[in-house]
Amino acid sequence: MCGIVGITQGRAAESVEPLLATLAHRGPDGMGVWQNGHHTFGHTRLSIIDLEGGAQPMSDSEGCRCIAFNGEIYNHRQLKQSLGGDFRTQSDTEAILGLARTAAPREWVLRLDGMFAFALADGPHLVLARDPLGIKPLYVGQVWGATAFASELKVLSGRAENITEFPPGHVFHPRTGLERYYHLPAAGGDVSDADGARAGLRERLEAAVRKRLIADVPVGVFLSGGLDSSLIAALARRRKDPLDTFSVCMADGADRPLARQVAEFLGSRHHERLYDLREVIEILPEVIYYLESFDCSLVRSALPNYLLAELAAEHVKVALSGEGADELFAGYEYLQAMDDEALDAELLQITGALHNTNLQRCDRMSMAHGLEVRVPFLDVQMVDYAFRIATGLKRCGPERTGKWILRKAAEDLLPPNIVWRKKSKFAAGSGLGDKMADFAGRGISDSQFAREREIADGVFLRSKEELLYYRLFKHMYPSDDLLPLVGRSRSV
């Protein structure tokens, strides 16, 4: 996991180096700059694979190509074996350089199994690509007429024009333009047998967890005591001993005893941190700076997530998370009133929007502390299979229980009260709940909210709490051009 930045304008190192410093939090283990007559790339490194030999930007053995890469390629060993020849490092980055010699980018990027955003200099050409769901971030803009790219908005804000988010599941080459290589599957529902769906789900999730335990550094698991994180922890514990698990909570938070219960049940080495409202208010500006959003639901969940990542980074360099399960298996409460057709459409919508909502929080809060987070539920094979499962298996029974098939897949791995626990958002379960809304309500009057809630033509803030976050966001990121890049959560 790393930070990347670059510009397509000759020898522009003097412009890239100060931008690279803005991303130092993403890569505390190293920093490098590469340039030729066409491009300048910068890279900050968080060392996960091949700690000694994986420095970037990385050139191929012929010196024809160079890459600045952020992410992890889980099948890099298989790719190298299929490519043959000698590789100078054990890193996953070099596998991408090897693929780049084989075909047009749209063809070989399909072979990458992982999370990634990268820039590849292929002679005078700049190739950009991002993973299917946008787990890793990438933004592009114009600086002095040249194309610039970076991992985070804060690098380009105030320096570049026409800033856009590079779309997930796309690759760009100057000869072919922007091409989409991955589409979320239509919700076909051809897997309708409960036993078959349960078995297929478990098989793919176990494989996804197994891949994400591969690292040359310590790996742990975020554990809230909810179904999603507990299931990931249970599968990881089968393959890792000891396993470190991490949770944060207020003293009266509902998650605290349940996370402890799961950790004891699994026999993990559990780490817990308590926080209070005073601490949350103190870190709020820092959280919004790193998060690059004012969306109410996102900020509210980012606050404990920031503290969780800080805790985990004291012990491990990689953590697994349960992100994505609610979107794939209908976990949110607001989904329960929808009919099947509307639910199918909504699940596709919110899964496709993860790149600038929950995945943005996941990336920014972890990377603020130099921690890599991996998300097994969003393995592409897992995602594709989830959309094949009939809607009636995701939301089932007289109470229309959300994530029903996922719960069935967890029944032999976890205590029943964890398997069938009602959905609780992370902020609520950790004890924060509506405390930030109450805090904002005491500081913002009704007249102030009425006056300030329209932030663009037809775009409105949804609460005083969101106005509080928006004020801080605008102080740090004053350009109105960034507003279209801020994702808005549908589950509020």
- Known catalytic residues are 2
Residues contacting residue 81 through CB under 8 Å, at least 6 positions apart: none
Which DSSP string do the residues of 1-14 spell out, in sequence order?
A: -EEEEEESSSS-HH
Q: Give, in order, the Cα–Cα distances in Å from 251 to each of 264, 275, 278, 309.
A: 19, 7, 13, 19
The C-alpha R_g of the chain, in whole angstroms, comes to 22
The two beta strands, 318-320 and 219-222, are: parallel
At residue 144, φ and ψ (nearest 5 deg) are 55, 40
Residues contacting residue 485 through CB under 8 Å, at least 6 positions apart: 139, 153, 163, 164, 165, 356
Which DSSP string do the residues of 317-382 spell out, in sequence order?
A: SEEE--TTHHHHHT-SGGGGGS-HHHHHHHHHHHHHTGGGTHHHHHHHHHHTTT-EEE-GGG-HHH
The two beta strands, 161-165 and 372-374, are: unpaired
C-alpha to C-alpha distance for 301 and 401, rounded to whole angstroms: 23
Name the DSSP class of 389: B
